[in-house]
């Protein structure tokens, strides 16, 4: 008996330190006793998970139901961040998320939907899926909704689809970017963006074009926009083209594209931000630790995840959520990849 006590005490102390509570509180949670605040209980359970301990049987709650979550490939760090925000919120509400991630040449969105239906999910959250592609048919969503399955769309308003939509306001993102770069003296500003068939890309292009014309009415925005892929390689190609055409600042459609644009600048012997400023989009995890740390526009991932889950579970419970698109304002995060235009130094 005495040989096991030190281990128990050590475990309780480790859990208490991790959760920021007393060992007595940890003991109450582990024994399923009342009198512990919900947030405190959650902190102790998180400590169990982080430290690799199995949860006691009495602490395992019965799932309220299954919710499907379909996201694009995980190469772009913002997609796993969105998935985690949605999964965490679903778990907090007692639901079990079933995560489906796509990859080129792999399982398609439609195939995942069929599998989720076979598992009897209560609803599905689509993140930047086919609904965001203007060339894709909306029939797949009409069929799901017609059979009574609640659906929520994230980042890609699909006109005519009878489902709630949660998106980042792309026009605000571009406006924040242009204002920041102009305040630094930049006048030759370019946009590196992904394929035009995607709704977020179209919205950014429209807002960028309007922003340029507002400043210079007779300008041709097309001369300052390069369409490519939402990848590092795409950003490098677009960044190189914009640099070679005389731009001193580049707004990118994703953080990965921004890293590519920085690579293009360095390949030309240019310094960032001394010679060229680069601004990203997403504020993906770890992007603050790049060289230089990336100035970017942060998507409000946590708020969007909570809103998407709230809308879906309201629909699951039988309540009808407004079909107007819920737009979240992004936030400009200024770091080291943007600086004064070369001419104003």
pLDDT grade, residue 2 (50/70/90)? very low
Q: How many residues make up the chain in this entry? A: 345
Percent of the chain clearing pLDDT 70 (strictly above): 94
Is the pLDDT score of 244 beyond 70?
yes
> Mean of the pLDDT values across residues 198-209?
97
**Which pLDDT value is given to residue 5?**
43
Range among 35-39, 71-75, 253-257 rated most confident:
253-257
Domains along the chain?
Answer: 5-59 (1.10.260.40), 66-168+301-328 (3.40.50.2300), 170-299+331-344 (3.40.50.2300)
Pairing of strands 331-333, 295-298: antiparallel
Alpha carbon distance 178, 206 (integer Å): 13
List the end-to-end C-alpha distance of the chain, in Å, as a whole number: 74
pLDDT in the model for residue 60: 60
Looking at every residue in the chain, the average pLDDT score rounds to: 91
pLDDT at res. 172: 98
Whether 225 has a pLDDT exceeding 60, the answer reads yes
- Going by C-beta distance under 8 Å and a sequence separation of 6 or more, which residues neighbour residue 31? 58
What pLDDT sits at residue 298? 97
- Contact (CB, 8 A) for 255 and 283: yes
| Per-residue pLDDT tens digits for 140-165 | 999 999 999 999 999 999 999 999 99
pLDDT tens digits for range 262-292: 999 999 999 999 999 999 999 998 899 999 9
pLDDT digits (tens, 9 = 90+) for 14-50: 888 888 888 888 778 777 777 778 788 778 777 777 8
188 confidence band (pLDDT: 50, 70, 90): very high
Residues above pLDDT 90, as percent of the chain: 73
- The reply to whether the predicted model has a pTM over 0.95 is no
* Higher-pLDDT residue of 30, 295: 295
Burial bucket for residue 226 (CB in 10 Å: 0-12, 13-18, 19+) = buried
The 10s digit of each residue's pLDDT in 324-341 is: 899 999 999 999 999 999
- Please give the pLDDT value at position 6: 46
């Amino acid at each position: 008996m005495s040989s096991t006590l030190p281990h128990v005490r050590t475990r309780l102390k480790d859990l208490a330190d991790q959760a920021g509570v007393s060992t007595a509180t940890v003991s109450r949670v582990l024994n399923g006793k009342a009198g512990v605040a919900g947030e405190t209980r959650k902190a102790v359970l998180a400590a169990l998970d982080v430290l690799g301990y199995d949860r006691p049987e009495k602490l395992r709650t019965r799932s309220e139901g299954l919710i499907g979550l379909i996201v694009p490939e995980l190469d772009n760090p913002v997609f796993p961040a969105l998935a985690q925000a949605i999964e965490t919120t679903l778990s907090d509400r007692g639901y079990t998320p079933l995560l489906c991630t796509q990859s080129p040449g792999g399982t398609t969105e439609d195939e995942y939907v069929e599998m989720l239906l076979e598992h009897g999910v209560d609803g599905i959250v689509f993140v930047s899926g086919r609904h965001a592609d203007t060339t894709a048919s909306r029939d797949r969503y009409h069929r799901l909704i017609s059979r009574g399955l609640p659906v929520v769309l994230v980042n890609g308003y699909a006109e005519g689809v009878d489902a709630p939509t949660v998106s980042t306001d792309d026009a605000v993102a571009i406006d924040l970017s242009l204002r920041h770069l102009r305040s630094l003296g930049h006048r030759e500003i370019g946009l590196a963006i992904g394929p035009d068939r995607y709704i977020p890309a179209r919205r950014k292009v429209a807002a960028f074009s309007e922003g340029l014309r507002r400043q210079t009415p007779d300008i041709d925005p097309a001369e300052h926009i390069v369409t490519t892929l939402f990848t590092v390689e795409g950003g490098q190609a677009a960044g190189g083209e914009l640099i070679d055409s005389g731009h001193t600042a580049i707004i990118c459609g994703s953080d990965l594209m921004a890293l590519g644009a920085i690579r293009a600048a360095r390949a030309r012997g240019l310094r960032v931000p001394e010679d060229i400023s680069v601004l990203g989009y997403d504020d993906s995890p770890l992007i603050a630790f790049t060289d230089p740390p990336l100035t970017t526009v942060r998507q409000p991932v946590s708020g969007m995840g909570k809103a998407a889950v709230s809308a879906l579970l309201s629909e699951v419970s039988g309540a009808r959520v407004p079909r107007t698109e819920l737009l979240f304002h992004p936030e400009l995060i200024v770091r080291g990849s943007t600086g004064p235009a070369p001419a104003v130094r």
